[in-house]
Every structure is written in C-alpha cells, then in structure tokens.
Amino acid sequence: MGRPHKWSKSMAQIQFKGKSFVQNHHLLVKYHELIPKKDKSLTDKVSLHDNLIIHGDNLKALKALLPLYAGKIKCIYIDPPYNTGNEKWVYNDNVNSPMMQEWLGQEVKLDDLTRHDKWLCIMLPRLKILKELLSDDGVIFVSIDDNEVHHLRMLMDEIFGENRFVSQITVLANKGGQDYLEIAKVHEYILCYTKTEGTELSELPKDTSGFPCEDKKGKYELRELRNRNPRFNRSNRPNLFYPIYVNPQSCDSHKQCLISLEKKKDFIVELFPKNSEGNDSCWRWGKELILKNIADTTEESRAVARQKQDGGWNIYEKNRKATSKAKSLWDETGVRTENGTKILKQIFVEHSFQFPKPVDLVKKILEHATKKVKNSGDTNLQTLFVPIEKTTQDWLTAIESGDAKTAKTLYAAFMPDFQKIFMASM
C-alpha cells in the first residue's frame, strides 16, 4: 500500500513500492512508429496531423505521440482504472526490478496488499509523459473515485506542482447510488491541473433567456454593484468607497432610476456601499468606470438604482454576460454514467467497456479548455482523450484537431458523420 507521506520543506511527497524504479521508466520506453491502418480509417487522406485513434499498449502509444505532439496538446482527459479490486486490470510495465517482474501478468484484486503501489506505478510514468504533451496553457482532467483520489492528488501535486491544482470536481455519476454501502455513493471525481501557473479556464455558456429585464440592447439581469466579498471593504479598498447619488424621480417601467457621482438637482438620495450589518463595504467599480456606464436615460445606462421593499436603495449593474464560472459540483443529467452506456449500446449492441463516460461530460471538459480566437467563431484545439479500457492492456487514444464546433469525443469517432478518422496501431 502507499507509504506514509514523506515531508520536506517544499512539499509532501507520496512514497510507494516501486517508485524509485518507475521515476524515469518513461525515458527508457522506446519510441515506436505509428503504423497507418487504411482499411480501418474513414478517410483516404491519411495524416498523423488529423483526427487519430491509436490502438496499442498505452505507455508506448503515449511515447509515440511525443515527437509529433510534445508541448502541443491543449486538453487531456484520462479515465484510468479506479482500482476498486474488481476491474481485472493487470500490471504489464516491463520495469527492471525483480519485485515488479513478479507483478507482470497478475490480475490486481481487492485482497492484493500491493494494489495501491501497483496502481501508482502505472500512473506515474504516464502522467509524466502526459505533462510533456501538454502545451504551456494546457489543462489535464482525470476521472477517479474514492479508492485512489487521495493518492492521485499527492502524485499529481508532485508531478505538476501544488500550485497547478485547479479543482477536485464532484460528479453525480449515479443518482440511485451504490446502496450496498453504508452510505450510498452517488459521486465520482475529476481532478483538474494546469501545465503552468496562471492558466485560465474558459467559463461555461449559460442560458440567458430567463433574464428578467430587457432593453434595446437585449435581455439582462441586475447584479448588485456593491462588492459582496467580505474581504474587501473601505479600509483595504479606499478608492472604491465613495457616494453615489440617485434621482428617484427618473424611475422607468422596470423601476430603475438614474444615478450620478455628483449631488445635484433631483439626485438627492446619497448612497455609500454598506453591508447587511450596516458596516462600510466598497463598490466593485471605481469612479472612472461608473462615469463610462451612466447616461441620460436608464435605457442607455449600464448602472442604475432601484428601491428595495424596505425603502432603501441599491445600485446595480445590468449584467448581460452569457457565461459563468463552472461549479465544483456537476450534477446535471447528461454527465451520468448511464448516458455513456446508452450511447455505446446504440453503436455496439454488445461492448466490453465498463462504466463508459458520457459525451456530455467530455463536452463540458472541452468547453473548459477551449478559448475562442478573437474575431473568429473557431477555436484552435489539440485534444487528447485517454479512456482506458479497464479489462485489457490494450487501449484507444484519440487525438483531435480543429475547433470546438467540430470536436468529437472518442465515442463519436464511431459515428458515420465523423468522416476524418485515421486508425493507427503500434
């Protein structure tokens, strides 16, 4: 099993049997040529720079991608064995260690006292290559559950760096839950790390049709202009603490009124940013930004005032933003495992994939890693999907090039409309 954490001045490191032998094992793996399989391709124009599916040993396949894709992959998603003890996965890395040679070909079962060590030994070299494949602004997502999430966090902290950790996303994978447990488990996790510090994830599109207000510029919702973060207030943001004046006679059909930074005729209600307890807070905008967003009519103004039920007033921004930050809980129906199973059954009447990930889950991951090119509807993207088939040592790797509109998941690669798939093997 994984050993107690070894602490250093810089960070904690995880220790496990075989770690010293696999630390640099990825460097010893030979490069293999990708061999086109034209009879299994959906295009006559075979290219290693097109959409790819690679069939072969996973570590060799990753190593074969390095000459072409090192430092070029924007998004990586992997679905490794969860190491439940019931997946029938086998350790097959030919590492130069007598102990690890004894592991070869043996199914990893629940009663295997070294199953966590074996799992960490397969993950470490693969994660190191995956890091090499990532672009500087690249992001990696890894599906996992309670069996190994604690070990995986420490391993990825060690390889990518603690400050590259973005989130441990909880996914509602099975609404009914595993009710044979003391507490029915309904969730899995996705760990998210970036290649370099400061990489920003894209926000997700949101439905703006429900915005309650509308003017000639379109629908919007009101967002309070007071900064609601308790860390920011008058003492540490003095430039954001100033009075705003309201003209209560200028209210429109939405009960929105004009504001000004000057106390003048009709602008007689003085407002300072105060929190719910009446203490000094601060605005989110400085005076210069306020001046840029007020006009002679509420229709033209982006910042307005509105009276509360208790007679007081609030200052609001007209928010038209069509995106929002993703939450750390993904509980929509589309991300449940059962949807992945349904899709595979539509494609293959019988299949051997256990717990396949649904298309919507991978799409959501893609949306996080995708940023649109300015003045263009296209998004240049290189994506690596690694859904590891958990019952054999063979696997499929999909490399996708193109934009967000045409990006397909591994499952979609089998659909008739995905016309540019090139099959290769090791």
Q: Could you report the per-residue pLDDT of 188-223, keeping only the tens digit for each?
A: 999 999 999 888 888 888 888 888 888 888 899 999
Whether the predicted pLDDT of 35 surpasses 80:
yes
Which pair of structure tokens corresponds to residue 184?
A: 């029915």
Range with lowest mean pLDDT among 158-162, 247-251, 370-374: 370-374
Quick one: average pLDDT of 64-82? 90
Highest mean pLDDT: which range of 43-52, 176-185, 268-277: 268-277
Return the pLDDT at 295: 94
Range 311-335 average pLDDT: 91
Q: Is residue 38 pLDDT above 90, yes or no?
A: no
pLDDT for the residue numbered 153: 96
Query: Predicted confidence band at 353 (pLDDT cuts at 50, 70, 90)?
Result: low
For 24-33, give one letter per residue: b (16+ CB within 10 A) or e: ebbeebeeee
Return d(Cα 357, Cα 344) in angstroms, integer. 10
Q: Which of 397, 400, 391 is nearest to 418 (CA)?
A: 400
Q: What is the mean pLDDT of the chain?
A: 82
Length of the chain counted residue by residue: 426
DSSP string, 349-390: SS---SSPPPHHHHHHHHHHH--PPTT-S---EEEEEEE--T
Residue range(s) occupied by CATH 3.40.50 in the chain:
11-204+326-415
Map tokens 């030919």 to a residue: 94
The whole-model pTM stands at: 0.77
**Range 23-29 contact pairs with CB under 8 angstroms and sequence separation of 24 or more:** 23/124, 25/93, 25/95, 25/124, 25/125, 26/59, 26/63, 26/125, 26/126, 26/128, 26/129, 28/96, 29/59, 29/60, 29/63, 29/125
Q: What pLDDT was estimated at residue 371?
A: 62
Nearest of 6, 57, 5 to residue 386 by alpha carbon: 57
Q: Nearest 5°: phi and psi at 128?
A: -65, -40
Please tell me which residue, 267 or 72, carries the higher pLDDT value.
267
The CATH class given to the 11-204+326-415 domain equals: alpha beta
pLDDT-based confidence at residue 273 (cuts at 50, 70, 90): very high
Residue 176 has pLDDT above 90, yes or no: no
The pLDDT value recorded for residue 384 is: 60
Q: What is the reported pLDDT for 376?
A: 33
| pLDDT for residue 39 is more than 90 | no
On whether the CB atoms of residues 340 and 359 are closer than 8 A, the answer is yes
Strand 51-57 and strand 35-36: the pairing is unpaired
Q: What is the pLDDT of residue 416?
A: 30
Task: Give the angle subtended at the CA of 121 by the CAs of 117 and 126, to the nearest 5°.
Answer: 150
371 C-beta neighbours (distance < 10 Å), count: 16
Longest dimension (CA), the chain: 89
Two tokens, residue 277? 């307890």
Residue pLDDT, tens place only, 156-174: 999 999 999 999 999 998 8
pLDDT class for 18, splitting at 50, 70, 90? very high
Chain CA centroid to CA 203, Å: 10
H helices, E strands: number in the chain = 9, 22
pLDDT bin (cut points 50, 70, 90) of residue 409 is very low
Is residue 337 predicted with pLDDT exceeding 60? yes
Q: What percent of the chain lies above the pLDDT cut of 90?
A: 49
Q: pLDDT (tens digit, 9 = 90+) per residue, 279-312?
A: 999 999 999 999 999 999 999 999 999 999 999 9
CA distances from 407 to 73, 292, 367, 402 (A): 14, 39, 10, 6
Specify the range with the lowest mean pLDDT, choosing from 19-23, 374-378, 396-400. 374-378
The confidence score (pLDDT) of residue 382 equals: 56
Strand 329-330 with 313-319, pairing: unpaired
Q: What percent of the chain has pLDDT over 70?
A: 83
**pLDDT of 294:** 96
Question: What tokens were used for 88?
Answer: 């029938």
The residue among 392 and 302 whose pLDDT is bigger is: 302
Q: Which residues contact 351 (CB under 8 A, 6 or more apart)?
A: 344, 345
Which pairs with CB-CB distance under 8 Å and at least 24 residues apart come from 259-262?
259/290, 259/294, 259/301, 259/303, 259/304, 259/305, 259/315, 260/294, 261/287, 261/290, 261/291
Top pLDDT among 37 and 152 is at 152
Residue 119 in tokens: 């799992």
CB 135 within 8 A of CB 70: no
Residue range 97-117, pLDDT digits in tens? 999 999 998 999 999 999 999
pLDDT for 174 equals: 87
